[in-house]
Amino acid sequence: MDNRKYNIYFNTHTISGIIISAILFVIFFAGSYSLFKKDITAWQSNISYKAQKSKKLNYNQFLDSLDRKHNLKGRDISIFYQEHTLAAYVSLTLSKDSTLVPKKKPGAEKKAGKRGRRAESESFKYDFSKGESSTYEKSYDLGEFLYRLHFLAQLNQVPIRIGVPFGYLLAGLVSFFFLFALITGLLLHWDKIVSNFFVFRPWSKVKTVWTDAHTALGMIGFPFQLVYAITGIVLILNTTLLAPFTYLFYNGKADELYRDLEYFDSKEIPYTYQSLVQKADVQSYIDRTQNLWQDSYIKSVNIKNYGDAAMQVIIEGSAPAERNFSGNGKIIYEVKNNKVIYQKSPLAESSYVGKVKSLIYRLHFGDYGGYALKVVYFILGLMGCVVIISGILIWLVARDKKNVPDHKRKFNLWLANIFLAICLTMFPVTALTFIAVKVYSAAVDMSFIYSTFFYSWLVLSVYYIIRKNLNRTNQETLLLGSLFSLAIPFVNGICTGNWIWKTFSTGATDIMVIDILSLAIAAVGFISFYKIKERQKLKPENI
């Protein structure tokens, strides 16, 4: 490779990498934990889906309770299940029955009975195991927080009007720059890709150690990171990426484009203003579907025109990945005639669009190989974090030379110090938040998780930024994170009685796996801390 190409690749790789490093670390770290999103939810709520998945849910009772509280007449009801949990998000539209609006003076509807009012739209979370409903904010858990943090959803509250939520846009741009960094990094090492892969010199000077780690781990995780970069761009920026095609091929009609891509079916079902002869037995339709789709998972139930003669029950589900990798099914029941008007089994052959969408989704979330694959994804995700940290340190050491002006060296040190403080403190902060949501379980909601995580992150980051000692930052955050991780299963056992041996005996593997994962992380952290201390005794370093 000639010097010109090498310099182009090197500068592009370095600049794109250093710009996105801190944010990319947050995405990878939070994303690695969010692979166990449902397990974290089960662990925090102390309700195991694995132990209760055979429990029969009473949908008729659920709808009756909703009807008494919200008046379902003429509404569309959407029930979106949280996969591998006993909870669902419920959305109720505005009633289509305009006769429910009393023709009186403004404000007179307050005097009318509940049945005389046209109910407003509602949305909430319903826990079938407890038979309780709550708002999204009140039911917010740590699994949801980490999942949303990995695509920066919390930043969507930033008041910047750009057509796309700010957090999603930033995460998409970071994924795009990450793709650049991956490709230029591969080209940079192309000539020595085989020889460099097998080189690791742990007892050499610090720059050599970080360079070897950056190169070797970067090449090992390259396929995984490439998949994550591409799928992340598509999943986060799909609406932005599709915008040009809306005008090129659909004359600006976005609904038609999304319908062709099977994102939704916007077909409206007319409301007849004629009540059903007898009350709909929604439970029977769900039971019937479960018998038809053996081993498949019901993702959502949509009820159109509740209580009307035009009422329909639309059930969607997906097949296990081992039976049909891209299997998504849909069945539509016409309640008036008690018959099926459309059916597609999750085990049936999917369309090309369906296969591509499922491939992107499953590759990104790793939900097709059980816990073994999730652990592999988790390790590769944390390896990506190590590659990011090593890249920052290589960048710093390469610019900490006598021929570099003093003011530039100070700036580089401060920049690396800030990046490392932000990145490395995320480990103890995450483990600490796990402990906090268990100790203060009765008070946990969105505000509590936000306050605990972000305030502790801010305090620790500022503390290590002020100290400006990269070596101490690395060691102390590693030790703190390991100690907090070690405490997680003990705090869980003390607060709930769910010790590892108990969750194992009761089949609550989704709760048990979080405790075991925390112990494994703590063990690796302590070993790493010990190795660092041993190395320093042999050869003290400043960085």
Token pair for residue 283? 């439970």
Residue 399 lies in a domain: yes
Number of separate domains in the chain:
2
- DSSP for 109-160 reads GGTS-GGGS-PPPEEEEEETTTTEEE-TTTT--HHHHHHHHTTTGGGGGS--
pLDDT confidence bin for 431, thresholds 50/70/90: very high
115, pLDDT greater than 60: no
User: What pLDDT was estimated at residue 71?
Assistant: 85
**Farthest-apart Cα atoms in the chain, separation:** 88
Identify whether residues 384 and 341 lie together within a single domain. Answer: no
Highest mean pLDDT of the ranges 54-68, 148-162, 300-314: 300-314
Q: Among residues of the chain, what percentage have pLDDT more than 70?
A: 87
Q: Which of 316, 350, 384 is the last residue of a domain?
A: 350
User: What pLDDT was estimated at residue 108?
Assistant: 43
Beta pairing class for 87-92 and 312-318: unpaired
Residue 134 lies in a domain: no
User: What pLDDT was estimated at residue 539?
Assistant: 61
Q: What is the mean pLDDT of residues 67-78?
A: 88
Burial class (CB in 10 A: 0-12, 13-18, 19+), 356: middle
Residue 249 lies in a domain: no
Measured CA to CA, the distance from residue 9 to residue 185 in angstroms comes to: 7
Q: Which of 325, 350, 375 is the last residue of a domain?
A: 350
Residue 111 lies in a domain: yes
User: What pLDDT was estimated at residue 161?
Assistant: 61
Identify whether residues 42 and 63 lie together within a single domain. Answer: no
Identify whether residues 32 and 165 lie together within a single domain. Answer: yes
Using CA atoms, how far residue 451 sits from 30, 83, 444, in Å, is 17, 27, 10
Identify whether residues 230 and 109 lie together within a single domain. Answer: no
Residues pairing with 275 in the sheet: 308
Q: What is the mean pLDDT of residues 172-192?
A: 82
Identify whether residues 230 and 191 lie together within a single domain. Answer: yes
User: What pLDDT was estimated at residue 362?
Assistant: 86
- DSSP for 475-497 reads HHHHHHHHHHHHHHHHHHHHHH-
Host domain of residue 195: 3-47+158-235+363-538
- Residue-wise pLDDT tens digits, 491-527: 999 999 999 999 999 888 989 999 999 999 999 999 9
Strand order in the sheet with 339-344: 132-134, 122-127, 87-92, 77-81, 297-304, 312-318, 328-334, 339-344
Q: What is the mean pLDDT of residues 362-369?
A: 85
Token pair for residue 310? 């035009």
- Among the ranges given (29-38, 99-108, 121-130, 464-473), the one the predictor scored with the smallest mean pLDDT: 99-108
- Residue-wise pLDDT tens digits, 317-359: 888 888 888 888 899 999 998 899 989 888 888 888 888 888 8
Phi-psi region of 107 (alpha: psi -120 to 50; beta: other; left: phi over 0): left
pLDDT confidence bin for 98, thresholds 50/70/90: confident
> Within 13 Å, how many C-alpha atoms sit on residue 27's CB side?
27
- Among the ranges given (16-25, 108-117, 444-453), the one the predictor scored with the smallest mean pLDDT: 108-117
Identify whether residues 280 and 343 lie together within a single domain. Answer: yes
User: What pLDDT was estimated at residue 109?
Assistant: 44
**The three-state (H, E, C) secondary structure of 166-189, written as one string:** HHHHHHHHHHHHHHHHHHHHHHHC
Task: Summarize the chain as % helix, strand, coil (round to 5).
Answer: 60, 10, 30
Residue 531 lies in a domain: yes
> Rounded mean pLDDT of the chain?
84
Name residues whose C-beta falls within 8 Å of residue 237's C-beta, 6 or more positions apart in sequence.
164, 168, 169, 172, 175, 176
Q: What is the mean pLDDT of residues 165-183?
A: 86
Identify whether residues 509 and 409 lie together within a single domain. Answer: yes
465, pLDDT greater than 90: yes
Token pair for residue 516? 């075991």
Identify whether residues 194 and 339 lie together within a single domain. Answer: no
Name residues whose C-beta falls within 8 Å of residue 189's C-beta, 6 or more positions apart in sequence.
196, 215, 219
Token pair for residue 119? 């109910």
Identify whether residues 532 and 422 lie together within a single domain. Answer: yes
Q: What is the mean pLDDT of residues 275-284?
A: 87
Identify whether residues 315 and 229 lie together within a single domain. Answer: no
Amino acid at the residue 161: R
Q: What is the mean pLDDT of residues 16-32?
A: 90
197, pLDDT greater than 80: no
Contact 24, 388 (CB under 8 A): yes
Specify the higher pLDDT residue, 411 or 259: 411
Buried b (16+ CB within 10 A) or exposed e, 61-83: ebbeebbeebbbbbbbbbbebbe
Residue 20 lies in a domain: yes
User: What pLDDT was estimated at residue 193?
Assistant: 63
Identify whether residues 371 and 468 lie together within a single domain. Answer: yes
Q: Which of 292, 322, 350 is the last residue of a domain?
A: 350
Q: Which helix (H) or strand (E) holds 300?
A: strand 297-304
User: What pLDDT was estimated at residue 541?
Assistant: 53
pTM: 0.86
Q: What is the mean pLDDT of residues 66-93?
A: 86
Determine phi and psi for 301, rounding to 5 degrees: -130, 120
Identify whether residues 397 and 529 lie together within a single domain. Answer: yes
Residue 148 lies in a domain: no
- Residue-wise pLDDT tens digits, 33-53: 999 999 999 999 888 877 676
- End-to-end Cα, the chain, rounded Å: 32
- Residue-wise pLDDT tens digits, 118-153: 556 788 888 887 778 888 888 899 999 999 999 998
Residue 151 lies in a domain: no
